[in-house]
Chains A and B, each alone.
Chain A
């Protein structure tokens, strides 16, 4: 079952490449909006045109040119061959307990935050979570999932209209109907994020991640919004780490891209210190029991 609305892919690619092709999508043209609201974070200079200025962290960040040169096939959410940012495979990074929301290590003072991106060149900032969930409703195998997806769709529209409380309330019914539906948790995260309750938002985004592991576009979207919550909560290092995870999953994710560009200076490089995700990762190499017969510890034995 493909959980990704196929029509979204071209938009995501277009946004990712920021090449502003003069396309006129047929069925979705009415829903395309430039979602500047999501990017209206203090410090982000959306109006300054031109390519991102080089920054001290530019080695670890994708330059505008790199992104523009990405062939479409590579930028598609299915392909995870993006060379930057250099992160470990997320499944391993998620193998251990969730990092506390409030935790953020000592953050380096940014010497120069690069301009986010060229807003003028953005044709459409359409994200997977901003378009109708109807394809997902239609493809739902389980009736309970379909009903809870309908509620999620309704909540999505409510969040779009700023009716966050209504959305959160209805989503809690959806949780009751199908507690495993990750999209419901995702929109709970968005609802709380819009209400500026970032702790709750991140909690629900993290819950959504569990169920979205098989869907890179949505997983990337979830990380991106998580990053946005961290950023707004004043935790730029966590935010940068989340954006980076988002880009690893879904290189076309615009929120993550602009966010990461903006916060690259905060992103801890592997040499500088482990990111929260990396810190959680169990030291896989030395934990594989080579000879299980000896390896299983018998810690409780008192002899």
Chain B
């Protein structure tokens, strides 16, 4: 009795103790549960993912008459994840066939969402002859096509931390079979459990115990989602317990559909270079060039199968492993009753083709930086890295590649030929930059800010202030011709004579100061025409012209061309100022664009995640110079390339009508070439960042890169000549006399004149073949520019 009583009391005491002890334990547990609940609710109801912004290049318009190689079509297709298949086998988007023998190409374009409309990828059939498009038809409708657009290329993303690219889908956009495949692959009993699948967990725990490691993944979809949402990749029992509890919380709070929708958007499905592929939309797009609704059962099973090990089971890189896994998933689907035996057989027989995946995302790092910098002025960082903006730009990736290659190759050649230019120290190596744009549209097409972005992110196009040297000379000539065209007292024409002899410019108060420019290698040419003076880049003649025109007029012209308010020193006329290559390109683009200023630009449109255009570029222009004045300068600069200091471009095989100017600073620290065809302008600068002596002229150091680039970049563009504006006439002139040249004038040169200003009388000295020998009144001979370019 006694014992029983004692036991009873002990039991009561114990009960009381347990009761009292369990209250705080339960309380703690309750609080923990509440905290988890809050966390889950906060995540589900708030913004679930930061969607990085994407920066795209320009699209490529393809039309008859273009050559596919010149346009770089095959490289573009590879970068855009198109893949070649056998003739007659083009069945889905992103495939093409090309039979070189018959010249027949069939291309199934991707869908693409452009800023102002969706493009439903069409099937295009091209007939080619030697790579040049003869005709284009839509093989389904047999209608001839005038052109088609190859979609823009992804250049880079704007993100924080890792680049997690995803496009969100709602569950209604996901085919049921895709869901079935995921469930078959990852969580058979999804609809039967409440967040945790005890059967699987116990089985997994048993495996773990035997192996003494946490190995088996018994996680349900909900647990996986919780793990991705809140937890690290660490594998521990503690984390597993938290994950399981959160899964239970989530299942209590949210429907199965809500959990599934989050899951299909969240999962990691592989890597394209730096960019992580997240969610089934991106995966379908990347691996199969399809939207989820267009995927086949086999493709859905492949994607579902990848979830457990996205990189090892990548169907493009490891098709055999991916196929094995896919068939496992298909077998599961069959077993679970999601698909019929017939569907299984068909899907399991689908081939998986390996293909090369281009993983260079940051194709144009300097350009991307330029774009990001521009956008950062208008958008807060969290919007750029989290709101999934799509940023469309003007870059042409093919031209960018050509430019990068031209710059790199030219620098290697220079170092090879001039070993003194080689620098071993970090950040000291010889540098060069290239900017190419369309003067009329203002589109920046290629931008190489330096030799190697990994070595130096300093963008020499916009951040490097260097002396322009002779590249600045056209400003003086423009000021002079402007005087002529506006009816000023002095008249200057390309054929006007000027003295190229030592010259001292007195200036300042009471002419107290003086400046005496030297010619290159102290060579003077005497009585020369202005077109010769610019073509040979004569310093003395140019300074003399500037003093005659007046420094104020030269400065006013410089301001018009965007060089700002320059100091009133005569040395500015020979480029004794500091400018960026971007400024030079801008000024030259006005000349190239018949006097019209169109601001160079990089961003064509910014589109929000909802597809609405937030901002779009609109072409606008301002007439800065008259077309006649611009044409006179185009003509002058054509002489530079045709037989002046830029003649190296011609000897290197560049045949198109082109105009340009070399530039070398006095101490040979900067070497420039700025030049253009009627539809493309390119500026190249070469030098050392540390402003060491280069010892080379613009023709030697920068012109080769310019020429190589322009040859390739203009090949696919229409061959155009410069516009002759109304009111201008061309006339051949005898350079020794200034008379209109006869057929017998031996050294006749071209000239352009405003109507009424061209010489009328024919040269009296060369009226017949047996005229006075030209040597009696010969022009100075231009130096051999290839051997020793004057500058």
**B620 in contact with A97 (CB, 8 Å):** no
* Among candidates A94, A173, A177, A206, residue contacting B727 with C-beta atoms closer than 8 Å: A94
B724 (CB) vs chain A CBs: closest residue: A210
Which one, A166, A169, A175, contacts B440 given CB within 8 A?
A: A175
Query: Which A residues from 237 to 291 make CB contacts under 8 A with B?
Result: 282-285, 287-291
Check if A301 sits within 8 Å of B756, measured CB to CB: no
- Please give, as numbers and ranges, the residues of chain A lying within 8 Å of B503 by CB-CB distance: 302
Interface centre among A98, A144, A188 (most CB of B within 10 A): A144
Of B306-314, B378-386, B626-634, B647-655, the stretch lying at the interface with chain A is B626-634
User: Given the complex of chains A and B, what is the CA–CA distance between A287 and B493 in angstroms?
Assistant: 12
A20 part of interface (Cβ distance < 8 Å): no
B116 touches A175 (CB 8 A): no
**Does A19 sit at the interface, judged by CB under 8 A?**
no
Q: Which stretch in A26-34, A49-57, A68-76, A292-300 binds the other chain?
A: A292-300
A280 to chain B, nearest CB (A): 9
Asked if A200 CB lies within 8 Å of chain B CBs, one says: yes
- Given A147-B61, A180-B720: A95 in contact with B499 (beta carbons within 8 A): no
Asked if A97 and B626 sit within 8 Å, CB to CB, the answer is yes
A25 close to B (CB within 8 Å): no
Inter-chain contact B756/A296, CB cutoff 8 Å:
no
The chain B residue sitting closest to A211, CB to CB, is: B723
B485 within 8 A of A: yes
A289 touches B759 (CB 8 A): yes
- In chain B, positions 716-737 with a C-beta closer than 8 Å to chain A are 717-718, 720, 723, 725-728, 737
**A146 contacts partner chain B, Cβ-Cβ < 8 Å:** yes
B544 pairs with A296, CB closer than 8 A: no
B135 to chain A, nearest CB (A): 11
- Chain B CB within 8 A of A213 CB: yes
Tell me if B757 is interfacial: C-beta within 8 Å of chain A. Answer: yes
Query: Which residues on B sit within 8 Å (CB–CB) of A290?
Result: 760-761
- Min distance, Cβ B221 to any Cβ of chain A, angstroms: 45
Q: Shortest Cβ distance from A142 into chain B, in angstroms? A: 5
* A98, A203, A291: the one within 8 Å of B621 (CB): A203
Q: Do A297 and B496 have beta carbons less than 8 Å apart?
A: yes
Give A119 Cβ to nearest chain B Cβ, in Å.
34
- Work out how many contacts link A and B, with CB atoms closer than 8 A: 187
Decide if A150 is an interface residue (CB 8 Å cutoff): yes
Q: How far is the CB of B73 from chain A (nearest CB, A)?
A: 15
CB distance from A107 to the nearest CB of B (A): 23
Are A91 and B618 interface neighbours, CB within 8 A? no
Q: Are A179 and B756 also in contact (CB < 8 A) when A297-B496, A301-B498 are?
A: no
Instruction: Encode contact with B along A98-135: 1 for CB under 8 Å, 0 otherwise.
Output: 10010000000000000000000000000000000000
Contact A96 B628 (CB under 8 A): yes
Q: What CA separation (Å) do A166 and B723 show in the bound complex?
A: 28
Are A210 and B627 also in contact (CB < 8 A) when A168-B618, A178-B718 are?
yes
Q: CB-CB contacts of B671-689 with A at 8 A, as 1s and 0s?
A: 0000000110000000000
**Chain A: minimal CB distance from B517 (Å):** 13
A292 adjacent to B757 (CB under 8 Å): no
Specify which of A97, A179, A291, A300 is in contact with B439 (CB 8 Å cutoff): A179
Instruction: Tell me the minimal C-beta distance from A179 to chain B in angstroms.
Output: 4
Contacts of B146 in A (CB 8 A): 146-147, 150
Residues of chain A within 8 A of B718, CB atoms compared? 142-145, 178
Q: Is the CB of B486 within 8 A of A96?
A: yes
The distance in angstroms between the C-alpha atoms of A299 and B547, with both chains bound, is 10
Cβ-neighbour of B679 out of A97, A179, A292 (below 8 A):
A179
**How far, in angstroms, from A171 to B622 measured CA to CA in the complex?**
17
Does B541 sit at the interface, judged by CB under 8 A? yes
Which residues of B200-217 are within 8 A (CB) of A? Answer: none
In contact, B723 and A180 (Cβ under 8 angstroms): yes
Comparing B63-71, B181-189, B660-668, the segment that makes contact with chain A is: B63-71
Q: Is A92 an interface residue (CB 8 A)?
A: yes
How many chain B residues sit at the interface, stated as a range, is: 35 or more
CA gap between A289 and B625 in the complex, in Å = 26
Task: State whether B756 touches A98 (Cβ < 8 A).
Answer: no
Within 8 A of A (CB), among B83-132: 116
Asked whether any CB of chain A lies closer than 8 Å to the CB of B754, the reply is yes
A176 proximal to B (CB < 8 A): yes
Q: What's the Cα separation between A291 and B438 when bound, in Å?
A: 43
Within 8 A of A (CB), among B478-500: 482, 485-487, 490-493, 495-499
How far, in angstroms, from A260 to B63 measured CA to CA in the complex?
A: 43
Contact A90 B726 (CB under 8 A): yes
Chain A residues, Cβ within 8 Å of B492:
297, 299
Across the interface, do B727 and A300 meet the contact criterion of CB distance under 8 Å? no
Asked if B594 contacts A210 (CB within 8 A), the reply is yes
| A288 near B594: Cβ-Cβ < 8 Å | no
Residues of B within 8 A of A293 (CB): 737-739
Q: How far, in Å, is A206 (CB) from chain B's closest CB? A: 7
Q: How far is the CA of A29 from the CA of B740 in the complex (A)?
A: 55
Q: A144 to B441, Cβ gap below 8 A?
A: no
Residues of B within 8 A of A303 (CB): 499
Measured CA separation A300–B501 after assembly (Å): 11
CA distance A188 to B620 in the complex (A): 9
Whether B443 sits at the interface, judged by CB under 8 Å, is yes
B623 sits at the interface (CB 8 A): yes
| Nearest CB on B from A21, distance (A) | 35
Find out whether the CB atom of A144 lies under 8 angstroms from the CB atom of B717. Answer: yes
Contact mask A147-186 → B, CB, 8 Å, 1/0? 1001000000000000001101101110111111000000
B487, B497, B548, B619 — most chain A CB neighbours (10 Å): B619
Indicate if the CB atoms of B544 and A284 lie closer than 8 Å.
no
A207 within 8 A of B: yes
A143, B64: Cβ atoms closer than 8 Å: yes
**Pick from B65, B491, B754: contact of A144, CB under 8 Å:** B65
Cα–Cα distance between A210 and B722 once the two chains are bound (Å): 11
In the complex, are the beta carbons of A297 and B754 less than 8 A apart?
no
B61 x A283 contact (CB < 8 A): no
Whether A207 lies near B621 (C-beta < 8 A) is yes
Cβ contact within 8 Å between B496 and A296: yes
Contact B544 A302 (CB under 8 A): yes
Q: A143-B65, A147-B147, A296-B738 are in contact. Are A291 and B544 (CB under 8 A)?
A: no
Contact: A179 with B490, CB < 8 Å?
Answer: no
Instruction: State whether A206 touches B623 (Cβ < 8 A).
Output: yes
Contact between chains at B61 and A97 (CB < 8 Å): no
How many Å lie between the Cα of A143 and that of B133 in the bound state?
10
Chain B residues in 8 Å Cβ range of A198: none
Interchain nearest-CB distance for B594 vs A (Å): 7
Report how far A143 CA is from B625 CA in the complex, Å.
30
B596 at the interface (CB under 8 A from A): yes
Residue in B439, B497, B626, B740 whose CB lies within 8 Å of A296: B497
Residue B780, interface by CB 8 Å: no
Q: Contact at B726–A176, with CB atoms within 8 Å?
A: no
A209 on the interface (CB 8 Å rule)? Answer: yes
A302-B626 Cα distance, complex, nearest whole Å: 30
CA A277 – CA B544 in complex, angstroms?
A: 33
For residue A218, CB closer than 8 A to chain B, the reply is: no
Supplied contacts A91-B727, A302-B547, 14 more A-B pairs, CB within 8 Å: A144-B63, A147-B146, A175-B440, A177-B61, A180-B720, A203-B596, A206-B623, A207-B594, A207-B627, A282-B757, A288-B757, A296-B738, A299-B548, A302-B499
A-B contact pairs, 24 of them (CB 8 A): A91-B755, A95-B628, A95-B755, A96-B626, A97-B485, A97-B629, A98-B623, A98-B626, A143-B64, A144-B63, A145-B718, A147-B147, A175-B440, A176-B441, A180-B723, A282-B755, A287-B491, A287-B756, A288-B757, A295-B759, A296-B495, A297-B491, A300-B541, A300-B545
